[in-house]
Amino acid sequence: MTEPSTVAHQVMWTRLISVVEEQAQALIRTAFSTSVREAGDLSAGVYDDQGQMLAQAVTGTPGHVNAMADAVGHFIRRIGRETMAEGDVYLTNDPWEGTGHLHDITVVTPVFHAGGLTGFFACTAHVTDIGGRGFGADANSVYEEGLYIPIMRFMDRGQVDRTLLAIIRGNVREPDQLVGDLHALATCNEIGRRRLSAMMAEFGLADLADIADFILTNSRKATLERINALPEGTAQGHMRIDGYATPIDLCVSLTIARDRILCDWTGTSGVDAKGINVPMVYTKAYTCYALKCAIAPEIPNNAASLAPFEVTAPEGSIVNAPHPAPVALRHVIGHMLPDTVYGALDTLLPDTVPAEGAGALCNFHLSLRPRTDAPAGARRAEVLIFNSGGSGARPASDGLSATAFPSGVMTMPVEATEQAGPAIIWRKELRPDSGGAGRYRGGLGQWMEVGAREGYALDFSAMFDRVHHPARGRRGGADGAPTTIAEDDGTPMKGKGRQGVAHGRRVCMGFPGGGGYGQAVERDRAAVRRDLAHGLISPEAAARDHGLDPATIDDTLARAKRGEVF
């Protein structure tokens, strides 16, 4: 048989990417948790028989997929290659060998072809509840944060471990939802396995060794070409963010060198007492993602394209937290890492990276319990709601409003949220003036109000940052608006932690905007008028930040009222 041509290899590579995208879409369609179905908080990938990631789905988050890139190696080591068999499915939620906290479950399925172990499929999904204190920052150790599932078999030669399911059901608040998610994860891997087997039969492949070598060799070569075309040098980045009780300093030293880029997080604050700490696997995931976006965004993500990005951090720092540090909200810190990296990269590669954005997702978790006046048949519910602030303005365009960068998850629809439990979303709209002014405007955050239905008590778990340290503009751009949170009677609430809400009260939130890029006086006048006409900025901001005179403001608003297009 002749060797496959370069074109054939490229076709197979593209087919693998399609296979894992179908795998991810199957998970979205079958998952029980709204965080997966509606927000896309998941990942999917295919690996060779050594556990090297060959392709990832476009759908998903970098925190999941880049962390999951290393996870399969842990599964091989702990399960033992010699014990693996067709029909096996393995799982874990180990924060240090999975994706950073107990609420993410990673499932791995070995693939056999012609009697031999050919590779693996893996997927990860965020589950709404894993027991313990519930999703939030209040724990003092990982033991309080929920049920820990070590790397183990979920299915042994096609047989589900019923004892494991009984333990899971006995330790979580939403057992049907979680068990449903486990089956969805296993099923999406099975879909990937079938598609891969069909592809191997179509191309006459006995194993994945040849295509794996083609993918990894070309990916590494292309990434190194991008790196070696950059000017060498070292620069520092720093960001101060809210933390839990005290501010956190993120410090990075970035070095562009021959064949590699190094990021060292020495100088970053130490482990926090509460659950905002970040395992190293998650720090590596988002640091690499930031560099990949800026330097080699078109090169597909796999083990080789990630390898030249080297990440280090002192053990005991908040970005390399050792067991048993509490880590439930590792994303609140981890999502700030790319903007910290970009602060350093902006020195070395001017006009390349955006201004700071909201960074951390604006998530919150509602625990709703029936009161004595609850309707018949009422039951408690756990509702996790994903939301986003604004992203930072870019060197040549405005920031994206209500868009999650770097996580990439989607904002959850009101209708889906209210179906998940007895919650009411009273308000959800863009927040005018929240994007930092500049030559290019930062993306807008959102206004949101939420409460419980009649007859339910509400505990609100906040997972916010940017309350005291808003997103900073770049190159003279203004800062974005900070996060705000209070009950509707003005009672202030904390940016992080579980808090009871008085009966009948609503929680009112303003999610942060992204920073602006460049001086506001340089913004195109037509763009300012368009922002004003669309309600993205107020008349006061148009005058204050951009110098629009009262006559122009009045004319713009009058034309907008008549429905004229800007």
Q: How far apart are CA 108 and CA 128, in angstroms?
A: 20
Min mean pLDDT across 53-67, 176-190, 275-289 is at 53-67
Strand partners, 117: 112
Could you tell me which residues come within 8 angstroms of residue 425 by beta carbon, excluding any fewer than 6 positions away? 414, 417, 418, 448, 449, 450
Cis peptide before 324 (omega within 30 of 0): yes
Cβ proximity of 344 and 265 under 8 Å: no
pLDDT per position as a tens digit, 52-103? 999 999 888 988 888 888 899 999 999 999 999 999 999 999 999 999 999 9
Residue 297 CB contacts under 8 Å (≥ 6 apart), including other chains: none
Q: How far apart are CA 114 and CA 269, in angstroms?
A: 52
Over residues 403-407, mean pLDDT = 94
pLDDT surpasses 70 at 265: yes
Strand partners, 487: 507
pLDDT tens readout for residues 511-547: 999 999 999 999 999 999 999 999 999 999 999 999 9
Ramachandran class of 273: left when φ > 0, alpha when ψ lies in -120 to 50, beta otherwise: alpha
Per-residue pLDDT of 551-564, as tens digits, reads 999 999 999 999 99
What pTM does this model have? 0.96
Q: What tens digit of pLDDT does each residue of 352-398 get? A: 999 999 999 999 999 999 999 988 889 999 999 999 999 999 999 99
Burial annotation 217-239 (CB, 10 A radius, 16+ → b, else e): ebbbebbbebbeebeeeebebeb
Provide the pLDDT for residue 412: 87
Of 181, 173, 512, which is closest to residue 365 (Cα–Cα)? Answer: 173
Neighbours of 534 (CB within 10 A): 12
Average pLDDT, the chain: 96
DSSP state letter for 422: S
- Given phi > 0 = left and psi -120 to 50 = alpha, else beta, which region is 238? beta
Of 95, 93, 103, the closest CA to residue 133 belongs to 103
pLDDT, one tens digit per residue, over 126-158 is 999 999 999 999 999 999 999 999 999 999 999
Query: For residue range 428-459, what is the model confidence (pLDDT) as tens digits?
Result: 999 999 999 999 999 999 999 999 999 999 99
Quote the pLDDT of residue 1.
47
CA dist., res. 533 & res. 321, Å (int)? 48
Q: What is residue 3's predicted lDDT score, i.e. its pLDDT?
A: 66
Quick one: pLDDT at residue 4? 76
Residue-wise pLDDT for 111-125, tens only, equals 999 889 999 999 999
Cα–Cα distance measured from residue 147 to residue 170, given in angstroms and rounded to the nearest whole number: 10
Identify which of 319, 327, 338 has the alpha carbon closest to the alpha carbon of residue 267: 319
Q: Is the CB of residue 67 less than 8 Å from the CB of residue 284?
A: yes
| CB within 8 Å of 466: residues ≥ 6 apart | 241, 242, 358, 359, 360, 389, 480, 482, 483, 512
Query: Which tokens go with 317?
Result: 């720092």
Q: What percent of the chain lies above the pLDDT cut of 70?
A: 99
Sorted by where each begins, the domain ranges of the chain are 6-220, 354-523
Q: Which residues contact 13 (CB under 8 A, 6 or more apart)?
A: 55, 211, 214, 215, 300
Report the percent of the chain where pLDDT is more than 90.
Answer: 92
Reduced to 3 states (helix: H, G, I; strand: E, B; else coil), residue 256 is: strand
Q: Which amino acid is at 458?
A: L
pLDDT at 5 over 90: no
Mean of pLDDT values over 312-316: 98
Q: Which amino acid is at 494?
A: K
State the Cα–Cα distance between residues 372 and 367, nearest whole angstrom.
Answer: 16
